[in-house]
Amino acid sequence: MLKARRDGTLSRDRLVDAATRVLTLKYRLADWPAPAPSAIGSAAHREAAQRLAAAAITQFRGVCGQAIRGPITVTASAGRDSTRQALIEELRARGARVVARGGTKVHLVGYGDSARDLSDDAAVTVAMDTPHVLAAATSPTLLATYSSSRASMSALAAVLTGQATAPGRAPVTVPGLPESSCVRAPS
């Protein structure tokens, strides 16, 4: 974080906002009893994580609910191979044909990535963590998961295969993009 602050990739405002959110949550949860260690990773916790991940998926551009037809090629920015592999496994579990090259390209980017980490020929660009990098993406379809967890990759695979829609709305402003291209803003 210090390096990112020094080189300007992490603004002071972003750092203060993030720290404020974390501290606010900690204060709110301070009075709740901690779960027993055996509860962590339980079926109930995994189901809750899956529901939250599915509810968070946000589509900024593209046709809502449209499945990718034909084979899919998953690529990712540097250092995201395990997440790429998780998405491939989740897509295959849903019956999608995933190929090394030549399919509809889905490109994953994450925290710290910039415009140079985007793929100009991706049909779908997915931001894991903050969606800000999507402002520079040219893909016809733009999605955000806000996480690279297995639950998020499972929810993403459901959207990509047309088995679910993207019900989320952006919690932050992404220049040039709506809060969602699928969900109407409250009136």
The larger pLDDT score, comparing residue 94 to residue 15, is at 94
Model confidence pLDDT, tens digit, residues 161-184: 999 999 999 999 999 999 999 987
Domain range annotation of the chain: 2-29, 49-160
- From the centroid of its chain, how far is CA 176? 18
Tell me: pLDDT of 144 over 80: yes
pLDDT number for residue 12? 87
pLDDT number for residue 31? 83
Q: Which of 109, 137, 136, 135 is nearest to 121 (CA)?
A: 137
pLDDT number for residue 130? 92
Sign of CA pseudo-dihedral 76, 81, 86, 90: positive
> In 11-47, which positions are buried (b, 16+ CB within 10 angstroms) versus exposed (e)?
eeeeeeeeeeeeeeeeeeeeeeeeeeeeeeeeeeeee
Q: Who contacts 55 (Cβ-Cβ below 8 Å, separation ≥6)? A: 167, 168
Model confidence pLDDT, tens digit, residues 1-57: 778 778 888 888 888 888 898 888 888 888 888 878 887 888 988 999 999 999 999
* Topology (CATH) of 49-160: Rossmann fold (3.40.50)
The answer to whether the predicted template modeling score (pTM) of the entire model surpasses 0.85 is no
3-state helix, strand, coil in the chain (%, to 5): 40, 15, 50
